[in-house]
Each structure stands twice: as structure tokens, then as C-alpha cells.
Structure 1
């Protein structure tokens, strides 16, 4: 039949056959009403205990462990949260569907600066000074703030249909978690990987703490650039340089007051050039030959490069390679200030010096640069710690003491105090406020950060890892004689084989990266490049809300105390009282009676929150609190920014303590952009709130969007995109509605063995088997947009537009016991059981609604079901023939369409067609094409038939004597009904 229901019979017709047609019947509504229905379904799952019931049912099944990366407990869920958790839920549900025990324990990151910052903001509003509040009280407020947002986000994520252990999530601020974090830190101390040293680190003068690379974002800025002249006072290999000036170029003028040396490239070619027309008179300047022209342009002078030649106001006097500068010494422009500034500034060979920009000479401030620090350290030059935590020069500093802040644009500008003093000293060769470049900022405060040398705690990445016993033998002093391995359970033997003593953390991590599966594969290169080039891990922060670096340092040796009994007492204290256990008053009890507290310094820094989250595998997967979990995880799944964040901190922590990664695979998703491909920003007004989307559309629409995009890349969301997703959903819902209606009253007695099915049903079974394999492949590849596309294309193209379309006539008009109709309804039952299961991980609410519409029960759920078991393959032999039929059907449909537009025919039922090939008997082709007649010919042609229309099935057939009469089939069916 061409339509679902026949129209009313014309008045001239005496018989209405509608009551004899078997129309689909279902209470399942076409209008979804998801925003209203979904909360009730959530409540039902809660009463059912869906998550725990699944754990009980699958306790003996093979495990699949996805370890949840902790979102930060600060603010409402945003679209990134929604995408991330929908993807995680899809992983867990598909693995569950495949028959595994796939638990999901959600968690939250609860310590750190953002929470502390928010609590401090409230203090500032009330004019309270944080430093005057007892530490325990302040931490309690931070804990309460974090818990509040955990509770809020938990309800928001549950609304998405995420199935997890919401009653028992993990929190990094749980006392047991804090104790485990401390125990993990002790493992690094016990194996010699932990040390305290003064190195330049990313420092936020606004937040007054060190930052990790993962806490830094880069933005384009316009900075002041200056060229500064340092007078050369000694040059053993080139005496003619004495009295000349070595010129450096920098975009951080504030580092000049902390300069201690200059660096040159040993293989770089330098020139000594006389600039005659300078404000101060003729000057002889030393710069790299390759940069002479750009330098001259920057200071406004033409330049020639031939020795001895002169043009305009510049003459090149000599050229030589940098190695001739060995032993040369300059003096600081502010040398007249005496003391620090009067010390000689040696010229040092630096392999990092290039001629990409500047002058080919680099000023060295070991307090404020990694290369600077390393080169100066190698030459016996130590940092001076002139810039304090707030970015001010310390009060006793001879130049600009007590002034700053060094990130203040006015302070460092070309007319600011630094440049003014250099200009007065005759050392400022050039200055401008127009240099555009990328610069690091704190992701929280959005303020510029600086490199600042301060005493910090580091985990070494290139130092050979030792066993605790070997460490005691090698160090002796400062390490307890009774020190032993960690108080935590022994680590699982490394599967990579790269956890041996003597490995470095970097080597272990690189080996673990090679052994890990990355989806997409490019993630391997991304994290690999970061780990391969990363510096030592700075793990200390100078804040209050976090896990303390719970170490005692021997005042005589400066080494951390490693003592199993002390460690055990510390861990036990944290397990009992959390971070408040680490106090000055607790020192005697923690050290024990055999140690004098006066001999030890209690470290007061806290741990980098990335170390906290890097330990989650230990206190979640290994703790035993969630017995359904196990270590290592099968999968970590987060955004691509976590290659430098949680993926990496977890990798380093686990490789340092267990010799391998805590995961076997890493799945990465991109970021959600607006409809135009722009990054979402509150300032741009283009953010999309998932809470609003769920109120307007429902969670299933949001889930369908998340699982339809190529999430491995950056992707888009907007009104038009969501409208398309809603239409996609409507078609899927209509498919389920049809299945429910068409299966009304279906019972086992009606089921027909596959061997008795017609070819079309066997062909459809073949397609279902093929789809079954494709969906499993998509799950294995975590190709969820491919999974959804396969499902929707099958529903729209293979079912609605083909199979359902052809067989509606049989469903509506054949006798109840007809073999074709029984085969069709049997196949629909197979489709129902397969499609509801396959759709359940995507449309979690709708699939439940569909299942309950057919199999209602208080104790049942579609989410308890396993992957569908299909009848044995039975249509492969007819697949080629039906592919040909479908191709021919498309050509026939295209040929009919012009006649429909011209109203020669109102529907395909009125058409007669000729075809050039006949994969099936002509009568079966007519049924497949939904036309009146098919015959053979030289071309595909269409004409209007002269047959009359059956008043019951609407087919135009030769045996119908007049319109509204009955065809032979319908006469038989109606006769049977009358007889019955």
C-alpha cells in the first residue's frame, strides 16, 4: 500500500473496506516530549538500582575499565563536560552491551588554585584577609565550596543519562585519597626521583604560585622590545673589542636588572660595526652578521656588510666567529650602582644562541630563564632571587628596589622607569612598544606569568631510578637506616618490561607511550613530543588548598627523610584527618620519639593538583573501595588538551612508581566550536548551555549530537545543527513506532522458521548480520559517529525507504496466517530486538521507552540486555539479486517522478513500467517497485495503467473488474473474515 491508512470511500462507492485492513496499533507517541519524560525515566532507574543491579548481574563477566578523568569541581557543567561524559557513557554502555562488566565510577578534582581563588574572592568582598584566617578554617571553606559544586555537577551529569556510581564517586579531597596521594609522593622520595632545587619555573605574580605547563595558556600580546649596549672591558682573543659595546635584544626589559652574563654562539659570525650618527655620538657595536641589517633597520641606520667599506653612517670594521669571544667580559649598564651591578658580566658560549631574531647576543638572567639558568649554573653563577612572589623587586635591591610589578605594561614600557634609567646611562640603543608575539598567561587569572627561580620540589625525568635499598647505600646520610619501600601495596609488575631499576622516568614514559593504543593515532606523537622534551616536573605550589608535600627535610643535609615508620604514621594521620593532619603541632608525633623535631624542617608547600589527579589510578583502581575496578585501566578518555595534562601526569606518576602507564589505551576528543567554527567564549556571547538544550530538546537529542559528530576533531554545534539532529531523531523514533505498531499482537506461535522465509526477508537478515559486524567494528575502533551513522542509515534507507515500504501491503492486507506476512512480522521482531539494543547506548531514554512500550515491567530495563542474538545467516545467496533489484527500483522511481509531477499518475501504484532486466519474476518486481505491472523492454519506461484499483489494498490489478472492487487476495481474506 502506498500510505499507512486508506481515505474515506467516495460517496458514490457503496463499500468501505477499512475495517478489514490490519493497520499497525501502538500507544507509543510520535511526539517525543523528552524534556518531560526523561526525568521520570531517571527516577525509575534510581528506584530500580540500575547501576548496582548491572554490577551484580555481571560480576563474573570479563571487565572493561574506563577510568574517569576528574572534572574540576568549580562551576556548572558546560558543553565540553556534556560531550566528554556522553562519550564515556557510550564506551561503558557499548562494552556492557557486548557482555562485559563495565563499571563507571565518576570523580572530581577538588583541590587547587581555582577553588582557593573563589573562596578568596568571597573574603575580599567581606574585607577579610585570608592570611589572618586559621588554615584549618580556610581549608574547610574550600572543601565546602568544592563539595557544593560536586553535588551540582553530579545532578547535571545524571540528567544526561550517564549511568555510574553516583552515590559513591571519588573525590581527590577524600581523606583516603589524600593519604594515597601522600603515599605516592613518598615512593618518589624513596627511589631518589624527588629533589628540591632552585630553578626557573612558570610563576604567576597575581596568584603568587608556581604553575605547571598545563595551567598555562598562550595569547598574542604586544610587548616592549629593547636593544641594550653592554660595554666590553676585557677581550683576550680580540683586544680591539675593548671599549666596544655588545648589544642584546629582549622583549622582557624587567629582566635587565637581574642580568649576570651575556651569551654568544660559538659558530655564529659576528661583526664589529661603527655607527657614526648615534645620539650619543659614534659607537662601535657588536652584533651577528646575519642580523646586522635588521638591527640597523630597527635602530634607524643603513648598513653595509663588507669589511672596511662605509656607506652612510655605518662601517663594518671586523668579522669573526663567536669562539673568538671566549674569555671576554662586559659590564652592566648600571654598574655605577656598585655591589651586584659592579660585578663583571662574562660572555659565555651558548649552543642555544641563534640568528633568528635580535642581535645574536643574549643577555643571561639565571633567575628568569631555563637556558640562562643552565648556562650560568655551569659557569658558577647562581640566581639572586631579586623578584619576589608578587613580581616586585625586593626592597633591598639596588636598582628599582620595591618597585614593579614586572608584568605591568607601564612599568616595562619604553617610557617606563627601566628604559628611562638605561637611556640616562647611555645604554638604550633602541626601544619600541610594538613587538607582537605569543606569551604565556595563567589560565585561571588570565594574567601574564613569568619565569622565576625559586626553591621548588621536582621529580627528575632523567635521573636513574633506584630501589629504596640502593638509595640508602648511595646516600647514607639523611636517609633513615630503617627506610623501606612505600607503605602502599606493592605495584603490579610492569607489563612493558621497562620498569627495571636504573631506567629514567623519561625512558619509562616513552616506552609506555610506544606500548599504548592511541585513538586517534596522532595522539601518540603529540604526547610523545611533549614527554621527550619536557623538563623535570615541578610539583610544589605555594598555596593552602591542596595535599601538602608531607616530607621532613634534614636540616643538616637538605635531604628528605625517608623512613618507613615515619611514612606509615604520616599516611595513617592523613587517612584519619586529611590534609589538616600536616601541622607544626603534629611534628613530634609523626617523627616519633627517636627523632628531634628541631633537626627537621616541615615542608609547607602543597602538591601540584596535576600530581593529585595523576594519582587517581592508585586510589580509585587499586584501593579496593570499588571492588569492581582493577588496574590498569583499559581506557582513559579526555580532551586533546590532556596530552599535556591528565594523560601525562598519570603517565609520569605511574611510570615513576609502577614502571608502566596506568592505561592500555587513550581516546582523545576535540573541542566544541560554535556553528561558525569559532571558539566559544562568554565575551563573544556564543556559548551554548547544555542545561538549556536539555530543557528545550531533551538529553537524547544532545547525546545524538555528541555521538554524530567526528569528536576526534574540533566540531560544531548550533541551532541549525541541532535542528538537523532533531530531525534525525524523529526518523529513528518513527522507525521504532512503526516496529511497535506492526508487531502489535505478535506471539511466538506466529514466528516462522528462517528456512521458510521469502527471499526479501532473508536478504534483510543478511543486511542485519552485516550491520551487526560493522557496529562491533565501530565499537572496537571507538568510532561512535560511524556507529550512529550506520544505525540511522540502516533505519532510513534499508528499513523505512525499502523494506517497510515494500512489505506494508503484506502487513495490512494479507491474511494473518499468510507465510509472507508471518515471515515479515518475524523479521520485524528480530529487528526490534536488535535495533532497541543497538540504539540503547545512544538514545538511553528513548530505547527504554520503546522497550517498556512492548515489554512493560517494573523490574526490567533495556539496559540489562546483551548484544542481540540473531538467527543464523540465511540471505547471503540472494544478496546480489536484491542489490540489483534495489538499483533497478531507484531507476524506476526516478522514471515515475516526472509523471507524478505532471499528475499523470498520483502514486506509483498507477504506473506500468518496462525494465531492461528482471532479477525477479515480473509479479514480484511489481510488488517490490509498488507499481501495477512490470514487463520487459529495451529501456526503462513508465505509463499509466488501465487496471482498476482494489478498494481494499489499493493495488491496480487485472483481476479487479471495477474501481472499489476486490482483487483475488482481498476477496479471499475478506471471505475468511466473514466465515470466521
Structure 2
């Protein structure tokens, strides 16, 4: 600017806003949280009506209860933020979106913590009154609920935090008991003795959902079972299948002498089994084979150093596994005497490896039958499976089929019973979770008895408790089960007459799965699962509220007391005093008095699996609460993928038994959180990312944006570099919003322009808004938060910041306030504002509130109290969309040439240029651009040049720059002629010829 030239800077309408460039989220977010609580946003939303004053259609996301026993981890944050984005987006699309947060309060983790405190003080839990112990557990859970509630709220999660649901509330405990008693009454509850996954450290059975698999090094042994004899009619059909008639086997057994005559290949031979649980050998009751496997009889001819194989001995193994057995046994040479079809083992009887062993006191002096089993494979081992019905599900099922006896050699703490010969009192798993001496003792005894063919170690995936992290065992114990294949006559058979059928039909017919693969996963689990184990041998939980008749057997019809009046008394007592009352002296007499003789019955003191607690939440939350649902069903359950075997699973089974169908219409599953390298997070690796750490550094909105930018259907990665990228995206978006706010300063309704009167560029923005409105709503309805954010971010950065805002800066800054172009632009900015801020509000809850309050301050004002505005269908104009898309391509070619000239120092600004665009082959393009020189002015604004000329043909002297699309387009560079306007900086011929010195006609007119 010349020294004597007027300073026009104060006449330019620059953006004005108090919205800061720096967010300061960690410091400012708590202010908005306090404000939302003060004005009661959640409660006010419940009062909102539809457009015509009608009740809004409800949408209920039922909260899967987190466990109340520690600070939140990043997986909690992911889960709760996803839930919040669902609830907020549904609310802003016109629903009454309710969210009642809840907590799982009973169970082993809390009980374990209290036991740890006892041990630290030298106390024994069993010496403390059970009610007093339970009350300590309750207080522990209450403390963590208060902590976690504040941590969840800090994430910006909306919900009924003042009145959450707790599984330890008295009403909840009463309903859980009532739901259990429905299974008691419908006949699906039974007591059975079968092997269950057992934690010796925690001394309780575990559900599959409480089990995780880790690498573990186990002992492996190859064991000889000597052939004793052969009984051709060993398998005798009976009415309930096949059995082994123990009272006949001696008479029917062929002796070894007889076998030498009739079956010489079997005489003096051994069947070899392989197992990775040597401690189960004392419980062996059979050896299984497969009729479809080809076996070989192998004679050992020579052995290597330290081999325990014997030269000349004959062993049976599957041919497909013979080489692996030979290597393990360090056999150098052997001869395959002959092949044996699996069916020929039918009727073969073996000696237990410890038969007649010194000090055995006859414990193992019984016959071991060989039995056919489809579970026997040639994948590993020997082709024969050692069978201990008390310690494995396949073993148990085979035992049921053939009447094998169960053993009870293993105590709750994972040690052998004290009076078991040779091994009494030895631990399989010690109290600290480490291996006890049992395995080694059994291996040594096998060697002493001459039964050990080979031994070794094997690293493999093995079940562990997800709480104590200690290895588990299968252990036979009396437990309470729900039979999921028992036919029910309960009037709820629309989807099947068994729990399993109802669950499978619900999965296929009633539930929408996000992602769709969730359906297959739960279906396969339900299809293959055994009966549901309900009982746990612990103290902190809802007890199994039932009574058994003294002296009766579990199979007797009167074993369980089934009485509706007794059940009602129990429920009423729980409602008034909580489940603790079950443990008060005299409670049995109180509830049974006048109905049956209390002395005839024993009270059950096992507690329910906590998955039954959480699986029952639909009853005391969705059905019973005033903010529940009319039909007791949820629109959505949302949890991590592990909940296919957890909450989704238990809720399905529980509701199918008591409601006849799934308790949910939709299930959304998200992945796990990993570090930046894709590694599982662990404190020992030092790669954990705590939610509070992210909030303290960046703010909760950055954490929420990380969730929105991620594909939650797979495992999500998070770390410093990833968060830096998220923060950069946030800054770019924030700058877009800041510019929009500045451009809208002082906007009033008097400025508003009808879309039909707007220039093409403004109508194109409205067209894009119409497109986005459909995409955003569809995305939110499908819970595609990543897709929604990507579309909005691209729109803000590419369509707005890089094009519309860039092009319209000149009009906003320099046009007269009353000009149609400037008014149209500000009208579009207002329409943009209302849509962008509400579309983004479910994700960036704090930032969009800040943006909203910049325009609409006030104590009762909040973006979270409004809906996404409707977008008129007439805004959609695909023809306009194609037109602007084409012009953007031409603009790109112009900009590329101008940038080259800038690099060459020919120009410093694009406003110093007045290029010519030639259309060589397509005259219709002239019509596309308006067909007149007048359009050059509009397209010059579009390209941010001082002028553009549109011509048909080819530049004289040949092209200097050719466009890339099929239509032959050429851009010829020209400097703009004239002087620079001191107000708008355009270079125009008329500058200096007006009243106001150094201005163009437009600026001169604005200055008046």
C-alpha cells in the first residue's frame, strides 16, 4: 500500500468469533459436564415430544453391566463411548433414546478381593459370619460404583446416572431369585454330577465365559494298558443305550490262554494311550477307540539310549500316528506285525496301569473296557483315548453311554482326597496357581509299575481363570444345571419348545446383528453348548433359592420342593431385606412353615453364576423400571466380541427360558483394544493406555473421536502416534467450525435468502447437505460411526475449507452486507451450522456444545436438547452436483498451472492471473459454463483469480497446459491487466478510476 493511499482494512468484513483456536478440552470439559447436570439435560430429553406433540418412538439401549472392582481401562471407554454415540444419535434423529447404566456387583472378583484383605490380616473367611462377609463385599462394590460412575461421566456419556441399576439392589436380587425359580418350576432345573471347569485356586466351578486360554507347558505321557482278556458279548443293548454289565464280565471274559488260541494278536500286547493330564490316570475307567481308524500292532526290535520301551514288546497304535509314538519312545526299529481294524477292539478288556501296584490297596484292581468313541481322532496322540469320566466332557458322555462309574478323587482345592493310596493329599494345582506334585508323582508311579512308555513336555493352549489367571481342571462335582433341550409346556412355544430351539430361532429370526458375523458366532455356540451350569460354591451372590428333600435322590420326582407359595415368600423377603436374609438362622423354617415340614428339607447354599444375574437384567430393568420398555425388550445390546460367550449368551438362554425369546432386537459387537503395534495391552509390557491419561492430555472429545474414526468391528489400535493423528483431524475440523462461526457473526433472519434465489455455488452446497443428510441418518441408523465421520470430515475439509470457504472469502469480506451473494453465503452458513453441529454432536459432545453456545448462549441452551433438522428434499439436485464436480476439475487444472507460475516467481498470488481456458473439441462445454464472457467473472471467483476468459478452440501458437480429461481442454496463462485493488486485492483494469482511491468498482460501491 502506498503511503498516501487510504487504509481500507477496517472496511473489510473479517470473521469475528470468540471461539478459540486452541480447544483446552482437558480444562474446559468438566465445566460443560457440570452445566449439563445443572440444567438436567437427560431428564429434559425424556420430556421432548414429536413435531405434532405426540410421544416420540422409544429407543432403548440396554447396558451390559461392567464389573464394580477397579478403575476403567481403555476397553471400558470404547464400549461406553460407542453406547453414548448410539443413544445420542438416535435421540437427535427423533427417538426417545433411554440409557440406564448398570453394574454387575456379585461374584468372585469382589469376593476374592475381600478374601485377600482377610489373608493379609491373618483371618480366614470361613471363620466369619457369612452375612457379615457379604456386607463387606457389598460395601466394596458400592465404593467402586461411585468411582466408575464419575469416570464414565467424564467421558461425556449421557444417561440416568442418578438412578442406575445394580444387580445387588434388593429388588434386583428378588427378581433374579424369581427368574431362577421359574426354571425350578418349569422342570429344567436339575442337580447332576458331571465334570465342570473348576478353579482349584478359587475353589469354584466356572462358566465358559469366565475362562481364557493361554500357553501352558504340560507334562505328556504315553502309557501302556496291558491287555487282560476279551469278551465277545461285552456290549449288551439295553433300553437306554449300551452298558457294561459289571456283574457278567468275569464269566464272559476270555482268558489270556484262550486268547492265544482265538485271538493271538491281542495276547500279551498293550494298548498305548497319550495324555497331557497324567494326574487323571488314577481316575481312568476306560480306553476309547474309533471304529473308523486303522491301527497297527507293532513289535519293538531295538531301542535308543534312555528309552523305556522294551525289546520284543508289542503295542497297538494308530498307523497314522505310529511315527510320532516311535520317536517319543526312542524306538530305533520296530516291525508292524499286522493291521487291525478298529472294530476288532470291541470287547477287549485291559488292566489299569496301577493294578496290583504295591501300596495300591486294591484301589485300581478293576478291569478297564475298550469302548468305541467318535471323539477319537488321528490328529495327535496314539489313536486311543484314556477315559476318566470325572474329568472331561467327552469322557463323561462316553461314561453316560456305557454306564462307567464316576470317581471323586479330587477335592475342591485341587488336591487328591487324603485317603487315596499313593497320592493322597497331593496337589494338582497349588493355592498360588502353580503346579503341584501330583503329575510328577503319577508319572513316577507309572514308571515304577512298568506302564510308562514315554514322557515329555508340551506347550499348548490351556484354560485359565480370567480372574486368578491360574490353570483350571475338569472336575466332577454335584452342580445345578438348566436342561436346555428339555421340552417345555409353558405357553411360550412360538419359537420352539426347548431353550436351545428358542435361542437358535431368535438368533435367526428376531435379531439384527452388527456386524453380521456375530450371528454365526453365537449360533454355533448355542448349537453346540451343553446344559447351563448355574451353581457356584461361593458366598457373594444370589443364592439358588431352592430346597431339596432329605434322603431323596436327584432323580426322584420329589427331590426338589416346587411350591409357588414358598417362592412368593422368598421373593417378598428378598424385596424387603435383600438376598442376605437367605443366610439368616431360621429363614428356612420361616418360609416353609405351614406349607411343608421344614425338617424334611435341606436348604441349598450355592450361589448363582453371575452370568445368570446379568442375564436376568432384562427383567428388573427393561420390564420393571418406569424408564424400561413396554414389552420388556431392548432395541440394542452392545458389548465386546467376547460377550458372545458371555452376556449375549447368558441373556439369550435366560430369556428363552422365562420369556420364550431373545430379550433384544439387535446386537452390536466391537473388537478389543490393542497397542499401536497390534499387541495385546498388559501392564507388564508397559503398553497400556488409560482413558484418564488420554483425557488429561487431550480431552475426552479426542478419545471419542478415536472411537468414531476406528472400525470397531475389528480390534482397535491406540497409542501416542495414533492419538496425535486423531488430534490433528480434530484441529482441522475445529478450524472449519471456527471459520463458520466467524462468518456468521451478527447474522439475522432479515438476511436470509430463499434457496431459489441463490447463486449456483450456494445451491450446490445445499445439494451436498441433502446428500449428506440421507447418508448421515442412514449411517447412524446402522451404527456406522466411522462412515458418518469420514463423510462429514471429507465434506468439511474438501468441500467447505478447500472450496466453498476459499471461494466465498472474497464475497464475505468485501461484498456489501446487502448483496445477494453475501447474504446467500451467510444463509448457507447458517444452514450448514445447524446441520454440522447436530450431526457431529453425538461424537464430539463437548466441542459441539461449545460451538452451539457461541451462537446461542443461555443457561438453558444446549445442542444436546435439539434434533437434527429436517433437510428439504428439493435441495437435492444431481445435475447441479455433476456440474460443479466438472468445474472443480477445470479449477484444479487452472490451479496447477498457477502454482507452477508461482514456483517460477512469475506471480506471488493467484489474483495476479487472468488465465484463458480453451475447449478445443467440445463446444457444449461453453454452454456448461454459461456460454458468455459474463461467466468468466463467476468462474474467476471460483478459481480465485482476478479474471478468467472462456474460449472455444486451441490457444494460438499451441497449448501451454493441457487438461487431463477426455474433452480437450487447454489453460493459457495470462497476467491480469490493471492495478491491484487496495481493498480486495484483485487486479482489475478499472482500479483507480473511482471515487475511492485504489479501489475497483465493487469495493468503491461498498464504500459508498
- What TM-score does the superposition give when structure 1 sets the normalisation length? 0.92
Report deviation, 1:411: 4.6
Out of 895, 898, 906, the position equivalent to 1:896 is 898
Is the contact between residue 976 and residue 988 of structure 2 (CA under 8 Å) also seen in structure 1?
Answer: no
Q: 1:234 to 1:412 in 2, by over 3 A?
A: farther
Match of 1:220 among 215, 223, 227: 215
1:506 corresponds in structure 2 to 500
In the alignment, structure 2 segments of 5+ residues that lack a partner are: 233-261, 920-925, 930-934, 955-969
Aligned residues of 2:285 and 2:405 also touching (Cα < 8 A): no
Secondary structure in 2 aligned to 1:119?
Answer: helix
Q: Which runs of 5+ in 1 are unaligned?
A: 1-8, 303-311, 469-492, 976-980
Contact 2:222 2:454 in 1 (8 A): yes
CA distance in 2, matches of 1:882, 1:350: 72
Which of residues 970, 990, 1006 is equivalent to 1:959? 990
Distance (Å, rounded) in 1 between the aligned partners of 2:896 and 2:661:
60
The one of 21, 25, 32 aligned to 2:16: 25
Q: Which moved more, 1:168-177 or 1:749-758?
A: 749-758
548-557 or 154-163, larger mean C-alpha shift: 548-557
Structure 1 residue 413, shift from structure 2 partner: 8.6
- Report Cα offsets for 1:271-313 as digits up to 9, x if no partner: 22221336544211111222222211211124xxxxxxxxx4x
Three-state SS of the structure 2 residue aligned to 1:340 is: coil
- 1:933 is matched with which residue? 947
* TM superposition shift of 1:161: 0.8
2:423 corresponds in structure 1 to: 400
Which residue of structure 2 lines up, in the alignment, with residue 5 of structure 1? none
The CA deviation at 1:969 is 0.6
Residue 267 (structure 1) shift: 2.3
Note if contact 1:190-1:467 (Cα within 8 Å) is conserved in structure 2: no
Q: How does 1:75-154 map to 2 (within 5 A)?
A: 75-154=70-149
Structure 2 equivalent of residue 676 of structure 1: 677
Q: Could you say if the C-alpha distance between residues 405 and 413 of structure 1 is closer, same or farther in structure 2, counting changes exceeding 3 Å?
A: closer
Deviations, residues 167-193 of structure 1 (Å, cap 9, x unaligned): 100001111101111111111111111
* Contact 1:411–1:418 (8 Å) recurs in 2: no
1:872 offset after TM fit, Å?
5.2
Two-structure CA RMSD over aligned residues (Å): 1.8
1:40 counterpart residue number: 31
Q: Distance in 1 between matches of 2:819 and 2:374?
A: 87
Aligned residues of 2:63 and 2:101 also touching (Cα < 8 A): yes
- For the 8 Å contact 2:389–2:395, the answer to whether it is kept is yes
Residue by residue, what CA displacement relative to the aligned partner does 1:382-422 show, whole Å, maximum 9, x if unpaired?
211101111111011123011123578765698x2211111
Are residue 541 (structure 1) and residue 536 (structure 2) matched? yes
Partner Cα separation in structure 2 for residue 754 and residue 290 of structure 1: 79
Q: Indicate if the aligned counterparts of 1:231 and 1:244 stay in contact, CA closer than 8 A.
A: yes
Aligned mate of 1:340, from 357, 363, 374 = 363
Task: Indicate yes or no: 2:164 matched with 1:169.
Answer: yes
> What CA distance in whole angstroms lies between the structure 2 residues aligned with 1:388 and 1:904?
91
Q: Are 1:942 and 2:943 an aligned pair?
A: no
Contact 1:764–1:875, Cα closer than 8 Å, also in 2: no
After superposition, the C-alpha distances for 1:703-736 in whole angstroms (9 at most, x for unaligned) are: 1111111111111111121111111111222122
- TM-score normalised by the chain length of structure 2: 0.90
Following superposition, the deviation at residue 948 of structure 1 comes to 1.5
Question: Who is 1:907 aligned against?
Answer: 909
Does residue 1:836 correspond to 2:840, yes or no?
Answer: no
- The 1:617/1:627 distance shift into structure 2, 3 A limit, reads closer
1:933 offset after TM fit, Å? 2.1
1:221–1:438 contact (8 Å) kept in structure 2: yes
Q: How does 1:77-476 map to 2 (within 5 A)?
A: 77-236=72-231, 239-240=263-264, 241-277=266-302, 279=308, 280-302=310-332, 312=333, 314-336=334-356, 337-406=360-429, 411=436, 416-433=440-457, 435-467=458-490
In 1, are the aligned partners of 2:90 and 2:781 still within 8 Å (CA)?
no
2: CA distance, partners of 1:71 / 1:195 = 30
1:488 is matched with which residue?
none
SS where residue 17 of structure 2 aligns? Answer: coil
Distance 2:427 2:209 in 1: 27
Partner of 1:886: 888
State whether residues 771 and 876 of structure 2, in contact with CA within 8 Å, keep that contact through their aligned partners in structure 1: no
CA contact (8 A) 2:916 2:973 kept: yes
Cα separation, 2, equivalents of 1:636 and 1:330 = 53
Residue aligned with 1:848, SS:
helix
| Secondary structure class of the residue paired with 1:553 | strand
Contact preservation (8 Å) 1:139, 1:545 = yes
User: Secondary structure of 1:64's partner?
Assistant: strand
* 1:602-653 residue CA offsets vs partner (Å, 9 max, x unmatched): 1111011011100011110001343567521011111001001000000111
Q: Residues 56-110 of structure 1, C-alpha deviation per residue, up to 9 Å, x if partnerless?
A: 2248210011100001111101111111111100000010001110011000111
Q: Could you tell me which of 936, 951, 975 is aligned with 1:922?
A: 936
Take 2:294 and 2:10, find their aligned partners in 1: how far apart are those partners? 99
Deviation of 1:916 (Å)? 3.2
Q: Is 2:708 the counterpart of 1:707?
A: yes
> Shift of residue 467 of structure 1?
3.3
Contact 2:549 2:601 in 1 (8 A): yes
Give the 5 Å matches for 1:37-76.
Answer: 37-58=28-49, 60-76=55-71
Residue 522 of structure 2 corresponds to residue 520 of structure 1: no
The separation in 2 between residues aligned to 1:554 and 1:941, in whole angstroms, is 101
Secondary structure of the corresponding residue to residue 948 of structure 2:
strand
Q: In structure 2, how many angstroms separate the alpha carbons of the residues matched to 1:339 and 1:582? A: 44
Q: What's the counterpart of residue 487 of structure 1?
A: none
**Higher mean C-alpha deviation, range 850-859 or range 402-411:** 402-411
Q: Following the alignment from structure 1 to structure 2, what is the Cα–Cα distance between the partners of residues 922 and 626?
A: 62
Offset at residue 946 of structure 1 (A): 3.6
Q: How far does the alpha carbon of each residue in 1:503-561 deviate from its partner, in whole angstroms, 9 at most, with x for none?
A: 22111111011021101011111111111111111111001111101111122353321
Contact 1:228 1:430 in 2 (8 A): yes
Q: Deviations over 1:472-514 (max 9, x none)?
A: xxxxxxxxxxxxxxxxxxxxx78xx315xxx221111110110
Deviation track 1:579-599 (CA, whole Å, cap 9, x = no partner) reads 212135200111132311121
Which residue matches 1:552?
547
Give the stretch that moved more between structures: 277-286 or 701-710. 277-286
**Cα contact 2:623–2:629 (8 A) shared by 1:** no
Q: 1:869: Cα distance to partner?
A: 2.6
Shift of 1:141: 0.8
How has the CA–CA distance of structure 1 residues 374 and 628 changed in structure 2, closer, same or farther, with 3 Å as cutoff? closer
Q: How far apart, in 2, do the equivalents of 1:772 and 1:49 lie? A: 29
Is the CA contact (8 Å cut-off) linking 1:103 and 1:628 kept in structure 2? no
Q: 1:15 to 1:875 in 2, by over 3 A?
A: farther
* Equivalences for residues 465-504 of structure 1 within 5 A: 465-467=488-490, 497-499=494-496, 503-504=497-498
* 1:371 Cα deviation after fit: 1.1
CA contact (8 A) 1:273 1:317 kept: yes
Deviation at 1:674, TM superposition (A): 0.9
Moved more, 724-733 or 614-623: 724-733
Q: Distance in 2 between matches of 1:397 and 1:239?
A: 36
CA distance in structure 1 between the aligned counterparts of 2:33 and 2:195, rounded to whole angstroms: 52
The CA deviation at 1:672 is: 1.3
Q: 1:568 to 1:161 in 2, by over 3 A?
A: same
In the alignment, structure 1 residue 643 sits paired with structure 2 residue 644: yes
Cα distance in 2 between the residues matched to 1:83 and 1:627 = 25
Partner of 1:974: 1007
Whether the 8 Å CA contact 1:705–1:725 is kept in 2: the answer is yes
Shift of 1:943: 3.9
